[in-house]
Amino acid sequence: MPSSDESATTVQQTTGGTGSPPLVLPPAGYELGEVIGKGGMGEVVAAGDRRIGRPVALKRMRDAAPAPEEVARFLREAQIQARLDHPAIAPVYELGIDTAGRPYFTMKRLAGTTLRELIGEAELARLLRAFVEVCLAIELAHTRGVVHRDLKPANVMLGDFGEVYVLDWGIARVLDHSEMRTRGDIPTLPGQTAAGAVLGTPGYMPPEQARGEPVGPAGDIYALGCILFEILAREPLHPRDGALASTLAPHDGSPARRAPARAIAPELDAACVAALAARPDDRPSARGLAERVQRYLDGDRDLDRRRALAADELERAQRVLAAGDRAGAMQAAGRALALDPTSRAAALVGRLMLEPPDRPPPELALRIAEVDHAYMRSQWRQVGFAWLSMLATLPMVAALGVRVPAFVAVFYLVCGLLAALSFANVRAARPWTKLVAVLNIVLIVLCTRVTGPFIIMPVILCITVASWVSYPPLIDRPIVPALLGAVAFGVPLLIEALGLVSPTWRVAHGEVVAMSSIVELGGTPTRVFLIVGTIAGIAAGGWLARAIAASRRDLQRTVETQAWHLRKLLP
């Protein structure tokens, strides 16, 4: 409701309430409902005008025997609001005296949401359109000799159908005293607006009002600047704690500098800075402020100012890039490009996006680590299936004739463990990398005991080394996979040379002979096993290499596609 007393009240569920006077009906024709607002000396009741069938809000005094000065204040508020006939100011319908001799007045009953609740939630264009309406309503008040003196987001209401209302004219100052004389001022919010001292709400009043000086129309302009600042920066100009001290101290009224990440339009930033000028004479009129915001909404842009700001941002981008702040350079260059699409910032943005940094910033490094982790999960899954495929050779090994069943059982048990660990590493936060490496070497050593070091085993060893070389943590350390392969190949040769186990190969009479103490080698089963095993190993290696290459290719295509779109986007 647009009065001073209800803005700091809570809705009551029954008519009256503690401290309320006995229910006294106004003149015939009104039906009273629940109390919807209550303040220091008055209360607002939802009512119905039976004569013309419309809902109204009826404000009446709470005190059964109000002092003459209080009555004068109450009547003054109704008279001020009634003389401001603007769509954004709730009209007063009737002013009268109830049966107990107390004044009351009825006005339009409002419904909606305050601007304070919508800042940060509603679209910027909607808030700016509402702001223009508020400015024009204040311009009308100024032409009628009225200064609001308590403008703030909580005193602006937006209706569900595009309506905008300026509320709370309780401490308005009348500059023209020919019709009304100010005998005192009505507090707006207990604890925030004190009667007889500093009037208004700290954080939105101008410096002259905070000093207790007379406030003219320029004081409302400063409050409008505070509202516009909050709309643009999504935070108040002055902090809630220490708002008076902040108001009196020199402060920067630029929302663009306060919230650079929001990319605030320079036209709106300049309008806000002008409204928040320290000297009242330097502030525009309410209509002038409204026109500047409306021109922005209509698409009018100050191209010269934008080019100058773009040049400043580009210079800043180059300066911070030279200092090593790549992220800051990207942000500054992006703002320059948004301000002026023809700026040379396009080349800098393209270079920063397409050329990788020597040392990625922490945020980028974290994202790269996430990509590598996703790739590792995919690779562990592929390796798991590769180890599972080793189990398919069991029937062929059994067909050869097994001499040491326990050895064969251990061999395929290790294959199963490697498959299980690979699939577990898909979801593990810290993969069992070292254990897998050890089991890899054990398996290769066992494989050597079956067919010797030069048959089938080299294929398995190549697949293993290739998978380790492409593992992201080891890509930049190829010496580690090479050493693993050398150890896996050399350990069987070493233990045979030391006579710890029976030999699996020999060179004699121009022949390299493979021997096995684990299975029977000879005849058709051996030929089938050697041919099929070798082909299967080659196929598995090719499939793994193809999967790795496909992942890399897809990533590269994604990067190139993004780069192509970026080149087409930038002028």
Q: Which residues are part of the catalytic machinery?
A: 150
172 token code pair: 């308005």
H or E segment at 44?
Answer: strand 42-49
Judge contact between 193 and 187, C-beta under 8 A. yes
Residue-wise DSSP of 72-126: HHHHHHHHHHHT---TTSPPEEEEEE-TTS-EEEEEEPP--EEHHHHTTTS-HHH
Q: Give the Cα-Cα-Cα angle 122, 38, 72 (nearest 5 degrees).
A: 115
Two tokens at 82? 């009634």
Under DSSP, the state recorded for 13 is: S
Query: What CA–CA distance (Å, rounded) separates 128 from 134?
Result: 10
Taking CA atoms, 148 is separated from 89, 215, 338, in Å, by 12, 10, 38
DSSP string, 119-154: TTTS-HHHHHHHHHHHHHHHHHHHHTTEE-----GG
How many angstroms separate the CA atoms of 282 and 569, rounded? 42
**515 Cβ partners below 8 Å, 6+ apart?**
452, 502, 503, 504, 505, 506, 521
Q: How far does CA 23 lie from the centroid of its chain?
A: 52
Conformational region of residue 290, where left means phi above 0, alpha means psi within -120 to 50, and beta covers everything else: alpha
Q: Are 283 and 277 in contact (CB under 8 A)?
A: yes
CA distances from residue 274 to 281, 283, 344 in whole angstroms, order as listed: 11, 6, 30
Which amino acid, 517? S
Question: Rounded distance, CA 293 to CA 271, Å?
Answer: 7
